[in-house]
């Protein structure tokens, strides 16, 4: 879990050497999931519905759209409440504060103020998050205008979510099986 949280905040292969096997594996799994989702036919197909100039940023928008769908449907996929999961993530980060990158620490402070994981159920929070991401990108971008296209695309995000989640879970299961088998050799 810790490595999965670090995944968006740790760059490069060399830095992985500084983490324990379990954390490194979580970071690698996070990266695998990101790459896998981007390559799924449902996700590739979704991109064609994005008008210019949003298409270039469709990966970011789709990622948050799926976060939105997961938060809205959480109870369908987990016996643990979203609030309990959120608490468990924060406890893991707190226990390992010495290896949490500053960028992740600042993000979690922001998440705490917004009640972010549960708030992802709300369209307004997703749009606000996309605007915030846009301000951190180096070039001008339309992420502050996603509200103009959201309502037209949201049904497509919702319709593809279950299939994408199932495919990702299948890929994760295979990825984990491959790696657990390599430790036995």
- Which sequence spans correspond to the domains of the chain? 2-184
The pLDDT tens digits for 122-149 are 999 999 999 999 999 999 999 999 999 9
Mean pLDDT for the stretch of residues 88-94? 87
With CA atoms as reference, report the closest residue to 22 among 96, 82, 79: 96
Long-range contacts of 153-157 (CB under 8 A, 24+ apart): 153/46, 153/49, 153/50, 153/61, 153/65, 154/65, 154/123, 156/46, 156/49, 157/46, 157/62, 157/65, 157/66, 157/68, 157/69
**What is the predicted pLDDT for the residue at 182?**
56
List the single range of 41-55, 100-114, 141-155 with lowest mean pLDDT. Answer: 100-114
pLDDT digits (tens, 9 = 90+) for 167-180: 999 999 999 999 88
What pLDDT is stored for residue 181 in this prediction? 67
Evaluate if residue 184 carries a pLDDT over 50: no
Do the beta carbons of residue 128 and residue 111 sit within 8 Å?
Answer: no
Determine the average pLDDT of the residues in 150-164: 97
Mean pLDDT of the chain: 91
Question: Where is mean pLDDT largest: 86-90, 101-105, 144-148?
Answer: 144-148
- As a whole number, mean pLDDT of residues 22-35 equals 93
Quick check: 185 pLDDT over 50?
Answer: no
The answer to whether the beta carbons of residues 82 and 117 sit under 8 Å apart is: yes
Please report, rounded to a whole number, the percentage of residues in the chain having pLDDT higher than 90. Answer: 67
When comparing pLDDT for 6 and 65, which is higher?
65
Of 126, 123, 139, 132, the closest CA to residue 61 belongs to 126
Q: How far is Cα 79 from Cα 84, in angstroms, rounded to an integer?
A: 10
Contact assessment for residue 71 and residue 121, using Cβ atoms and an 8 Å cutoff: yes
């Amino acid at each position: 879990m810790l490595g999965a949280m670090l995944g968006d905040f740790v760059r490069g292969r060399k830095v992985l050497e500084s983490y324990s096997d379990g954390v490194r594996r979580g970071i690698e799994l996070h990266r695998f999931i990101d790459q896998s989702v981007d390559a799924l036919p449902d996700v590739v197909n979704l991109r064609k519905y994005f008008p210019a100039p949003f298409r270039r940023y469709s990966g970011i928008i789709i990622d948050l759209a799926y976060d939105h769908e997961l938060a809205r449907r959480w109870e369908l996929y987990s016996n643990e409440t979203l609030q309990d999961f959120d608490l468990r993530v924060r406890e893991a980060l707190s226990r390992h504060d010495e290896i949490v990158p500053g960028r992740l620490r600042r993000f979690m402070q922001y998440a705490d103020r917004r009640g972010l994981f549960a708030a992802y159920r709300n369209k307004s929070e997703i749009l606000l998050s996309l605007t915030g991401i846009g301000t951190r990108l180096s070039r001008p971008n339309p992420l502050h205008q996603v509200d103009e296209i959201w309502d037209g695309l949201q049904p497509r995000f919702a319709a593809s979510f279950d299939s994408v989640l199932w495919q990702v879970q299948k890929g994760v299961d295979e990825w984990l099986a491959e790696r657990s088998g390599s430790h036995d050799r």
